[in-house]
Amino acid sequence: MKLITAVIKPFKLDEVKAALETFGVKGLTVSEASGYGRQKGHTEVYRGAEYKVDLVPKLRVEVLVDDADAEDIIDVIVKAAQTGKIGDGKVWAVPVETVVRVRTGETGAEAL
Amino acid sequence: MKIDSGSTAWVLASAALVLLMTPGVAFFYGGMTRAKSVLNMMMMSFVSMATVGMVWVLYGYSLAFSDGGGLNSFIGGLGDWGLVGLETSATTDDGSGIPSLVFVAFQATFAIITVALISGAIADRAKFGAWVVFTVVWATLVYAPIAHWVWFFGPEDGEGGWIGAGLGALDFAGGTVVHINAGAAALALALVLGKRKGWPRDPMRPHNLPFVLLGAALLWFGWFGFNAGSALGANGTAAVAFINTLVATSAAAFAWIVVEKLRDGSSTTLGIASGAVAGLVGITPACAFVTPLGAIALGLVTGAVCAFAVSLKYKLGYDDSLDVVGVHMVGGIVGALLIGILATTAVNEAGADGLLAGGGVGLLGKQAVGVVATLAYSFVVTFIIGKIIDMTMGFRIGEEDEVAGIDSTSHAETAYDFGGIHAGAGAAAPLPSAKVADSAPTKVEA
């Protein structure tokens, strides 16, 4: 199993969610995040005083998937989240050792 | 009591309009602070309505607007304390005036908002109890005397306060008494309290710009009472003040966002709100003495000058957090001095002719004296009051409390609960001492 994490632009959430549902992903976790990459924040001006805002608001989407599906799902996310402009975010996957469904106690692929 | 009912109705309504400006200031300032100190900011304005309202009725009105005997040029007496005996009197005997109590109420709202204006300079860091004490002492020792200097006219010509009745300087609705006064006091308190932790290195961005716009809107609305109500009658002078309050503000709001566009690249909501307030400040002393075209000129100049003046604090290194100095002090000075240039008796015989109306530089000189006297007295006396409060009870909260946020550390409240992790079950539960727990059935041992 793999944990896929995607950091995306907040307004892209609906498209990413829809694309994952169409693919057949049964569940995901979304949380608010802030950070920066090459985009490096932006500048705001208040009464003539400039402020550098380094941390840009993003959403972190996490999905637990079967090894076989991982590459396809990453493709799905990237396609849905892409605008082509700087600041689109990143997607990565890491191996997962154990997964347990809390309600039933099922483990492994059964629990996804 | 013989009165003019139309005038009485207008000034009654105006008093209510001006009182609404203080909550307006609360929103205007509150939106500009960070989310962790918005309640304290708004509370400082609100408490002025609580304390200064009482001070005014008890003795403040008397100090400002009654005869002071030998000291009459500088301060009123205590003859009208508690408004005793004013209940059935009118401002004039011939039936052209309004009930004295209507005038008292109208002026009370001015004292209240002047004190509230100062608080913007000391956002995030003032000990609340110290501020409450300050509101009472400042209204007594600074506001009442300056109001007397400028606005108390005795029954004889030339009798009354030394700036208005004595010198003949013009201040229709409070450029000196309210705005220069509050601005100079704000500068003094900003110096007494010192910079906020992290200023100017850390960004201290406004947390709610819609609040700022709401506050500016309430201020503009209420300001029609402030300026046109100062005619103390439903008459032509009120009409001049009203249209000038509209158009000078339009011009200043416009000038500010043009400066921003040219200087910073974007016109901002904070800019248009600030420009509107700067224009209102600028036109305040001049509103019944200039033509509508003069008001446009005054508004454009005030808006542009204040748009630059708010940057001064970074160069000079004082933390006037929400720009009371840059907007109210500077705007008040610009407005008061422009009277000397733009005033004309063509719109109001009770006024005077400035430079452009052929009146020479005499009026400009008088205006300058009024401005300097107000600046000096307000700054010095406020600085002394602030220092004494700081040395006795302390005027500033502890560093840890300031960093954690003054709302929770001084008022035991936070402004916002938008949900999220901290809103779930278990994050907040009533203490055992709260009612909820008290009313729970107690177990009785068998």
Token pair in block for residue B439: 């009313």
- Considering only CB atoms, which chain B residues are within 8 Å of A48? 260, 263-264, 307-308, 310-311
* Half-sphere exposure (Cβ direction) of B207: Cα atoms closer than 13 Å: 14
The distance of A72 to chain B (nearest Cα, Å) reads 32
CA distance B260 to chain A (A): 7
Q: How confident is the model at residue A110 (pLDDT cuts 50, 70, 90)?
A: confident
Stretch 83-112 of chain B: residues touching chain A, C-beta under 8 Å: none
Min Cα distance A50 → chain B (Å) is 9
Half-sphere exposure of A43 (CA within 13 A, CB side): 7
Q: Rg of chain A's alpha carbons, rounded to an integer?
A: 17
Name B153's bridge partners.
B160
From chain B residues 386-445, the ones with a CB under 8 A of any chain A CB are none
Alpha-carbon gap, residue A12 to A6, rounded angstroms: 11
Domain count, chain A: 1
**H helices then E strands: how many in chain B?**
18, 0
Question: Where residue A37 sits, what CATH number does that domain have?
Answer: 3.30.70.120
Q: Does the interface ipTM go beyond 0.95?
A: no
Please count the residues of chain B.
446
Count Cβ atoms below 10 Å from residue B367 Cβ, excluding itself: 31
Closest CA relative to residue B96, chosen from B10, B228, B15, B2: B2
Q: What's chain B's Rg over C-alpha atoms?
A: 23
Model pLDDT for residues B219-253, shown as the tens digit of each residue: 999 999 999 999 999 999 999 999 999 999 999 99
Token pair of B236, please? 């032509």
Question: Which chain A residue is nearest to residue B327, measuring alpha carbons?
Answer: A47
Domain that includes residue A24, residue range: 2-111
pTM to 2 decimals? 0.87
Structural domains for chain B: 5-401 (1.10.3430.10)
Which residue(s) pair with A61 in the sheet? A6, A30
Task: Name chain A contacts of B314, Cβ cutoff 8 Å.
Answer: 49
d(CA B370, CA B372): 6
Looking at residue B445, its pLDDT comes to 53
- CB < 8 Å to B274, chain A: 47
Residue labelled with tokens 């710009």 = B209
User: How many angstroms separate the CA atoms of B337 and B366, rounded?
Assistant: 9
pLDDT tops 90 at residue A86: no
DSSP assignment string, B14-55: HHHHHHHHHHHHHHHHHHHS-GGGHHHHHHHHHHHHHHHHHH
Q: Cβ contacts (< 8 Å) between A50 and chain B: which residues?
A: 264
pLDDT attached to residue B424: 47
Sequential pLDDT tens for chain B (446 residues): 899 999 999 999 999 999 999 999 999 999 999 999 999 999 999 999 999 999 999 999 999 999 999 999 999 999 999 999 999 999 998 999 999 999 999 999 999 999 999 999 999 999 999 999 999 999 999 999 999 999 999 888 889 999 999 999 999 999 999 999 999 999 999 999 999 999 888 878 999 999 999 999 999 999 999 999 999 999 999 999 999 999 999 999 999 999 999 999 999 999 999 999 999 999 999 999 999 999 999 999 999 999 999 999 999 999 999 999 999 999 999 999 999 999 999 999 999 999 999 999 999 999 999 999 999 999 999 999 999 999 999 999 999 999 999 999 999 999 997 655 545 444 455 666 655 544 445 555 55
Dist CA B131 CA B121 (whole Å): 12
Mean pLDDT of chain A: 91
pLDDT at B444: 55
pLDDT at A29 over 50: yes
